[in-house]
Amino acid sequence: MTGSISRSDGWAIEVEGLGKAYRMYKRPLDRFVEWGSAGRLQRHGQFWSLRDVNFKLRPGSSMGLCGANGAGKSTLLKVLSGITAPTEGRLKMRGRVASLLELGAGFHLDFTGRANIFMNGVMMGFSRREMAAKVDEIIEFAELGNYIDEPVRTYSSGMGLRLGFSIAVAVDPDILIIDEVFAVGDMYFQKKCIDKIYSFKQRNKTILFCSHSLYDVRQLCDEALWMRDGRAAAQGDSVYVTNEYTAFQRDHIGEQKEVLGDEIPNASDHLGASVKLPRIRDARVYRLGTEEETYEITSGDSVEIRVWWENPDPAATPIHLGVGFLRQDMTTCGGMGTHLDGLELEGTSGCTVLEMPNVKLLAGQFLVPILLLDEGGVHKYQEFLLPENLVVRSVTRDVGLFRLDHAWRLNDDRPVPAPVEREAEEAR
């Protein structure tokens, strides 16, 4: 059952015991027999895509959905968007909902982009006059140029994403639901979308965001929900949930290797031959020169990051490691790479240690992704997240990202430069 939440409830989204089942028929004829008997002859089984999902989300909160393919993430978003009805349970949504779930969904391919803007607006409950007031804003954000008056069937997938996202955010919803669609967009538009989502958060909008990128979930969302086999495996703080999911993935890969041995193919080439790709086995932060694992340090402390890796065929796939430090607002604070320092990772496995004496980062919480790169440092084989974010505390009152080495000298008796000399210097 769906409905509106009274403002006294204090929840933007409320989900209780939500479940979604699909009918499964062994043969097409069984569907016809069941329909012809008006349901008296049951010829179907049931597949539960969702079962017993519960959560509440306050206005202005953001929740990320993570999990493997087929875990029920997209089904949950479709139920919340009103695209499909739940089989059991109840949900309540407060305010206007806009969703971007599938590229091209809701578009008429033979209509122009401009016509589809009006059509989608009407489907979301807006009048033609209201959409006419928003159409320039949508076209400007989408940056499709003259293509806005061409049929949508001539659009690339990235152009469809631009138009769909632009419509979804321009209607200024109270709740924004986004499935993983940014993968097809270029980096410039991805950044533009993320900035728009952040502006929604600052305006106290509610966001549901589904992604396979745990980095995006951590950075964009306050809370997270890990879906597994249609049920909630973990939910709560986004850092906690993504760490739990990462740990499960590592254990699951380990279990597969124990059962199947070391011949698990990572990929297949165009001939179907097994190709084993390099991977990061684990990565941890330790106090420099000790066995003390730590994720809370003080500015000026010395640490080392140990990365355990495997490379089954180093002759065919030379690799490099990269380590980055990103603030919670996605600002890149720094990064190092073995390829940048002219180092080579030799052998089929090893532990590479990045020593960092006197860490100068100022107070904050930092995401530390470990990247496994190709020989040129361009292609990313794997992105590995540390078990926890790195928390840096500061005992000084410095501002910024780093504590810069500096010294003050008082009472220097050097004369003030003459104005003419300064102007000449500026001219040069």
Where in the chain are the domains? 7-244, 276-393
Structure confidence by residue, pLDDT tens digits, 194-213: 778 878 888 888 999 888 77
Specify which residues 15 forms β-bridges with: 55, 91
DSSP H helical ranges for 124-237: 128-142, 157-170, 187-202, 214-220
Structure confidence by residue, pLDDT tens digits, 252-275: 544 444 443 444 334 333 333 444
- Check if 7-244 and 276-393 are the same fold: no
Q: What separation, in Å, do the N-terminal and C-terminal C-alpha atoms of the chain show?
A: 74
Give the Å distances, CA to CA, from 337 to 259, 373, 375, 378.
35, 9, 11, 11
d(CA 303, CA 341): 19
Asked if the model's pLDDT at residue 424 lies above 80, the reply is no
Domain 276-393: state its class: mainly beta
Structure confidence by residue, pLDDT tens digits, 270-281: 333 444 788 999
DSSP 3-state helix, strand, coil percentages of the chain (rounded to 5)? 30, 30, 40
For 149, the token pair is 């008056």
Structure confidence by residue, pLDDT tens digits, 3-44: 433 444 589 999 999 999 988 877 777 777 777 777 677 777
User: Taking the mean position of all CA atoms in its chain, how far away is CA 69?
Assistant: 15
Cβ(388)–Cβ(294) under 8 Å?
A: no
Using a 10 angstrom Cβ sphere, with 0-12 exposed, 13-18 middle and 19 or more buried, the burial of residue 65 is: buried
Lowest mean pLDDT among 141-150, 281-290, 380-389: 380-389
Asked if the model's pLDDT at residue 112 lies above 50, the reply is yes
- Residue 380 has phi, psi (to 5 degrees) of -100, 110
The CATH number of 7-244 is 3.40.50.300
Structure confidence by residue, pLDDT tens digits, 60-75: 899 999 988 888 998 9
For 55, the token pair is 């959560």
The whole-chain average pLDDT of the chain stands at 81
Instruction: State the pTM of this model.
Output: 0.60
Lowest mean pLDDT among 259-263, 333-337, 424-428: 259-263
Mean predicted confidence (pLDDT) in 81-88: 89
d(CA 142, CA 202): 22
